[in-house]
Structure 1
Amino acid sequence: MDRTGKSDSGSSSMTTMGMVFVKAQNTPLYSKAWTPSTTGGYASTCIFLLILAITSRMLLAYRTRLERSWHDKAINRRYIMISGQTEADRERQAVGKGGEKTEVAVLTANGTDERVKVVRSAGRNLEGKPWRFSTDLPRAALFTVDSGVKYLLMLAVMTMNVGYFFSVLAGLFVGELAIGRYTGAGEGHH
């Protein structure tokens, strides 16, 4: 390869892109079709990125709220245990292994069945939660949408356009200022 960037055969050229910020208002965003040609188009693109960044923070806050709701439901979910235990065994388990809270329940049409017990999780040990379609499908879908928005923001910043960069930062700032209190500490920070 010679100094001009052409290979010895001269059939292809190599271009290099410096990693510097640019101020050009005609920087393409996501595709060549989205290349602002006017100042208004550039401003609209920057406003879009601002709104997209705010949406990113909103999705994180919504996801955090859903996770808390799902966690609370898992804590309050009751499990039925049937055993042929003695009264002493039931008293020991009423205190519970792992901090479980238990209640003796009436679950039969013929009256009290002392072999049936309803156990409620104490919430501290929910790592082994069972897979649930009603929880895990929305969790995965929301995670995918949130990740997609964050990748779009990342691609906008990678254009090295100053206006796009500051639009993303401004949107993240406004989003965090408005709804940051609804996200958990340390969640979703890049």
Structure 2
Amino acid sequence: MATIFFTATSTALFSSSWIPQTTGQYAGNCIFLIAFATVFRALLAIRVNFPQVVDAIERRRRHGRIPSHLADSKTTIRPWRADEAIKLAFMDLILTGVGYLLMIAVMTMNVGYFLSVLAGVFLGSVIFNRFLATSTVH
């Protein structure tokens, strides 16, 4: 494995059968990585706000839509619930898997793949950082 960055357009991504043969396929891989990293930031925003998302879904299911000015904004410690813990664990599993796949793409040391992941994180941050504003997640 190369220990320096390089600019080849035929670098395998995730498996030996996923090798771009043309410049267009390489560009497609880069676009995929941008979208994948953006999805990672979206999943992170959902995970950080998971209790609020679950509460909003529950309220809507039970009472219909509640205007935001009537919603209770107090924060309390939530009781442990198995179904919620399993959903959180599944979300963490997905986040970890996506994060490791992005790390593998960067570890190819391909400049295009590296910049694509950075561009996706940037785009995802621009779009979803407002949902992460109260979080210490980076």
**Residue correspondences, number:** 119
> How many Å apart are 1:53 and its aligned residue?
0.2
> How many Å apart are 1:71 and its aligned residue?
8.3
Task: Work out whether 1:20 is the aligned partner of 2:4.
Answer: yes
> How many Å apart are 1:69 and its aligned residue?
4.8
In the aligned structure 2, how far is the partner of 1:45 from the partner of 1:18? 20
- Higher strand fraction (1 or 2): 1
Q: Which residue of 2 aligns with 1:169?
A: 118
Q: Which residue of 2 aligns with 1:31?
A: 15
> How many Å apart are 1:70 and its aligned residue?
5.7
Q: Note if contact 2:105-2:114 (Cα within 8 Å) is conserved in structure 1.
A: yes
The amino acid that maps onto 2:104 is L
In the aligned structure 1, how far is the partner of 2:98 from the partner of 2:84? 21
- Higher helix fraction (1 or 2): 2
**C-alpha RMSD over aligned residues:** 1.9
TM-score, normalised with respect to structure 1: 0.58
In the aligned structure 2, how far is the partner of 1:42 from the partner of 1:18? 19
> Unpaired runs of 5+ in structure 2?
57-74
Q: Identify which of structures 1 and 2 has the higher relative contact order when contacts are C-alpha pairs closer than 8 Å and 6+ apart.
A: 2
Deviates more, 1:61-70 or 1:22-31: 61-70
Identity %: 44
Relative to structure 1, is the Cα distance of residues 177 and 34 closer, same or farther in structure 2, using a 3 angstrom cutoff? Answer: same
TM-score, normalised with respect to structure 2: 0.79
> Unpaired runs of 5+ in structure 1?
1-16, 73-121
The higher radius of gyration belongs to 1
Task: Work out whether 1:147 is the aligned partner of 2:91.
Answer: no
SS in 2 for 1:56: helix
